[in-house]
Chains A and B, each alone.
Chain A
């Protein structure tokens, strides 16, 4: 078995109109910039995919990565906790113009909904958001004298995730706080596509250090020196580069 994909274009080839796509990262850390840009390349060449529902903690920063995906008009709905950043103009403009729908989810609830989606748990109860606007319409139940809000699992057709090392079976390690949502999204997606800085043979990763076991990963592609969103933004980069 070998889950290696030939290139970035092949990695995103199966994403179709209307799909739900989880994109890893917290701000720029862990953002799979190259996979997202490959998806934009496909859209520019073919007009697809569009009308995507994207799950990410944020809503992009500047004009690269997720922000560029939104700027192309490929995203119909965003499920996130914090749609602000140093430069949130792309999302803000689209949202205020009514071009993109927002489902705002508390960050811990977002993480747990994704985890639940990957773990086969359709719903769970959390104290988070009880008595607030974000709990409106959700079932509430009392446990040990305290009120909890019912939240539902979140699943996806695809996850696009950045890891550090990965073997051809899909076992992954991450780099520092770039781990964030990656392991959860790999679990919750029917097809998890991972870009790794180093693609290695099975046996090269100490089994004790595997963070995401390969069962949660369907495709892996090497991007040897991945871009950091923060560095791109400090250089005022845009994607595609000739975008006005």
Chain B
């Protein structure tokens, strides 16, 4: 069965970011969203460790290790960059000042609950800024494969893994579909044209509702 690549999911999520939006991208896979801003639009990216409006990674060898993002990767400054301390940074997060946060997920529940920080009690627990980021941004979007590597649904009725936040996710971009979380249920907005509704439902762990048109999920080859 054909599905979107991670790059294509990131591309699709980028199309919904408005010009001038303040955006936090979770570390790892969500960072790719920055590469696909539509022409003519410029988002301003926030990183937890105290930078707004940072630029791309520098060339290897010209890193400045006082200039890193939340993933500890070197970034650059560009006209309009601002620095601030950690309490101000999380005031931006919790205070409702960010327009969009885009995160990865292990599971998303139809209630908008998100599990993305822990796979259980083994090993060393680490949370970072994940629990803060899910509160405060006007939109909290998730990008993820539709199912796990073993084929289990990641969109579920109730999360089984430790929660990052309760009722926080507003939209999910998956490898097969775009789904909104609305009034405690999943509402299907887009799906791959080659996939029937019933096939998609069979790979989803909670009921998919239809409320208005379901568009084809179309993404360029990337």
Contacts and interface: CB of A to CB of B under 8 A. Distances in A.
A75 interface: no
Given A107-B129, A109-B132, A181 B85 contact: yes
A104 B127 contact: yes
Contacts of A112: 87, 90
Nearest to A25: B49
- Determine chain B's interface SS by DSSP, over half rule: loop
Interface string A68-94: 000000000000011111101001100
Interface stretch (A38-46, A129-137, A213-221, A236-244): A129-137
Interface string B137-154: 000000000000000000
Contacts of A129: 131
B200 interface: no
Contact of A106 (B49, B64, B89, B129): B129
Contacts of B39: none
A182 to B, nearest CB: 7
B90 A29 contact: no
A231 B74 CA distance: 13
Given A108-B94, A177-B50, 20 more contacts: A81-B127, A82-B126, A91-B124, A104-B125, A107-B86, A108-B90, A110-B86, A111-B86, A111-B87, A131-B166, A132-B162, A132-B165, A132-B166, A133-B118, A133-B162, A176-B64, A177-B83, A211-B85, A228-B66, A229-B65
Interface of B: 47-51, 63-68, 72, 77, 83-87, 89-90, 93-94, 113, 118, 123-132, 135-136, 162-166
Interface of A: 26-30, 57, 81-86, 88, 91-92, 95-96, 102, 104-112, 114-115, 126-134, 174-184, 211, 228-231
